[in-house]
Amino acid sequence: MIALFAVSMVFTSCTKEGQYMPKKKISKIVYTRSHKTGDLVVSNTQSEKWTWGGDLLSYIDYYDSDEHRTGTLIFRYDDERRIEEAEDGTYSAKYDYDDGHLEEIEISNLITGKKYRKMEFDYKGGKLASVEITTYDHKGNAPLAFNPLRFVFSDEVAEAVMSMPATKGVEHVTVTWIGNNITEITSGTYYAKWTYDDKINPFKGFFNMEYSIDQTHSANNPIREEISKDGKVTVVDYNYEYDGKYPTKVKYQTESSTFVPGYTLTLDNVTEYQY
C-alpha cells in the first residue's frame, strides 16, 4: 500500500494533495470472506462506518462479525484541510507536506513512543515517482489491521507491502504511470502491476494509516492485479458492480494456505460500498 495523484483531480472535489473531499462520500463498507468446506459455507463479515464532518472524513469505526466495535481511526487536518494525522489509539501516522506534495509519513507507537515506519516521497513532472520506506525494529500489526483499504486489496498486496522490509531496513519503491493511473510498482522484494476500469475511484486522494499507493493516487479502479514475489506470481481479477460511475460492490477470489502442507483454500471476497 502506497499511493499517487495528478490531473485526475477532476474526479474528486479536492484541490490539493492531502485533501480528501470526494463528491460522493462513503458511509459504510461491508466485507465478507467465505469458503466452502464440503457442503458447508463458512463466512465472516466485518464492516466500517465512515463519519464525516462536512467535507472532511472525521473518523472510521470498525466492527466485527457480531457488530461489536473493535476500534476507531481518527483523522486530524491542518489549516489547509489536508490530512495531518491519523491515529487509532495505539499507532499514529503524521503527514508532512512540501511544495504542494506529500513529502513524508511517519508512523509511531503512541504507547511506547517508538517509531514504526517512515515513508518519503519523490516526484517528477508533478507525479509520484518513488517512495523510500524505512522500517524500524518495532514492527507491529495495528497499522494494517486499521487500514481501511485492506478490504479493497487482495492479501497478496497487503502482505507484500507490510513486509517491506521484513524487520529493519530501507526499501526503495519505484512507480510507473499510464495516464492518471499507477500501473506498476517495483521494489527489491516484489513487483506489482495493475489494469483499470474507466469508472471513478472513490478512494482517490485518501491517505490512510498504511498508505495504499495505487488506490489512493489512481483515478480509476483496478480490475486486474499481478503480484510477483519470491519467484511466485499471483493474479487477482476484480469484478465490480456500479451505480453510474461509482463502484458499489467488488468480488474477487484469493488463495489461502492451511495447516495441511500443499493444501490451500479458495476464498471468495465481497466488498460492498454504501454512499
Per-residue pLDDT tens over the stretch 95-125: 999 988 989 988 888 988 888 888 898 999 9
* Paired residues of 166 in beta bridges: none
- Cell numbers representing residue 96 in the block: 508532512
Instruction: Tell me 244's DSSP state.
Output: T
Note the pLDDT tens digit of each residue in 1-34. 333 222 222 233 345 788 899 999 999 999 999 9
CA nearest to 20, candidates 217, 220, 261: 217
Helix boundaries (H) for the chain? 142-145, 155-162, 213-217
- pLDDT recorded at residue 105: 86
CA nearest to 241, candidates 192, 274, 214, 195: 274
Burial environment of residue 44 by CB neighbours within 10 A (0 to 12, 13 to 18, 19 or more): exposed
- pLDDT recorded at residue 190: 82
Q: What angle do CA 246, 249, 251 make, to 5 degrees?
A: 130
Note the pLDDT tens digit of each residue in 175-184. 999 999 999 9
- pLDDT recorded at residue 258: 62
- pLDDT recorded at residue 57: 95
Burial environment of residue 81 by CB neighbours within 10 A (0 to 12, 13 to 18, 19 or more): middle
Residues of the chain falling short of pLDDT 70: 1-15, 137-168, 208-212, 257-260, 262-263
The per-residue b/e assignment along 4-21, b for 16 or more CB within 10 angstroms, e otherwise, is bbbebbebbebeebbbbb
- pLDDT recorded at residue 14: 41
- pLDDT recorded at residue 51: 98
- pLDDT recorded at residue 260: 64
Structural element, H or E, at residue 73:
strand 69-77
- pLDDT recorded at residue 212: 65
Instruction: Tell me 187's DSSP state.
Output: -
Contacts of 90 (CB under 8 A, 6+ apart): 109, 110, 111, 142
- Work out the end-to-end distance of the chain between its first and last CA atoms, rounded to an integer number of angstroms: 23
* Paired residues of 121 in beta bridges: 131
- pLDDT recorded at residue 7: 25
**Distances 152 to 20, 30, 163, 179 between C-alpha atoms, Å:** 17, 11, 18, 22
